[in-house]
Amino acid sequence: MTAKLYCFGESGNAYKAALTLTLADMEWEPVFVDFFNGEARSPEFRAINEMGEVPVLVDGDTTLTQSGVILDYISSKTGKLGGRSAAERREVLRWMFWDNHKLSGIAGSTRFLMNFVPPEKRPEAVIAFNQARLKTAYGILNNHLEGRKWVAGEAMTIADLSCAGYLYYPEPFGFDRANWPNIDAWLDRIAATPGWKHPYDLMPGNPSDRAKA
């Protein structure tokens, strides 16, 4: 049975799920959610996810929301990308929780404010505050990757895909790979994995589509 992922290309959290599905060799298809025209807030979508967010994964009778839960489900179902021992799995989860709270959660909102909100409505003080917090997070991740190929363990896991989710996007939000050499090399390693695709190649919907509308 083919799983369905409700998503749109600009969503880094949806990208984490889409990339994990792909690299875990799980059969799936995207269902485009027209976020910028309010579809995620519609009664029809909230019947699927009361939180009004993507990603949503529907796999047979199982419906899941929140990227961390979805990544864990994919890993558990396929037996891939989840760590090789109980201790390694705890390390995977530790970095996923850190990412959700300290990295992706802030990167996603900062990128949104800087690129998808009209310039006259952008809260510059909030953006600057967020970028300072992100600089700390980048430093933590860059230092952790010193001498390591992967975030948790000796092979790529969902911890890597979670932490990397927003860092491939081209829109500016205060992240320059050149400033973080260990992160830069790590992102190259992930991108060299067979099956890897850029978010705008893996999911429908990107800024250029909306520019044509």
Say which CATH class 3-81 falls into: alpha beta
Fold of the CATH domain 86-191? Glutathione S-transferase Yfyf (Class Pi); Chain A, domain 2 (1.20.1050)
Instruction: CATH 3.40.30.10 in the chain: give the residue spans.
Output: 3-81
Indicate if the pLDDT at residue 116 is higher than 90.
yes
Distances in whole angstroms, Cα of residue 153 to Cα of each of 90, 149, 210: 11, 9, 40
Q: What is the pLDDT of residues 169-211, one digit of tens each?
A: 999 999 999 999 999 999 999 999 999 999 999 999 988 776 6
Q: Percent of the chain, pLDDT > 70?
A: 98
Instruction: CATH 1.20.1050.10 in the chain: give the residue spans.
Output: 86-191
Reported pTM: 0.96
Q: What is the pLDDT of residues 144-159, one digit of tens each?
A: 999 999 999 999 999 9
Residue 77: CB partners within 8 Å, gap ≥ 6? 26, 59
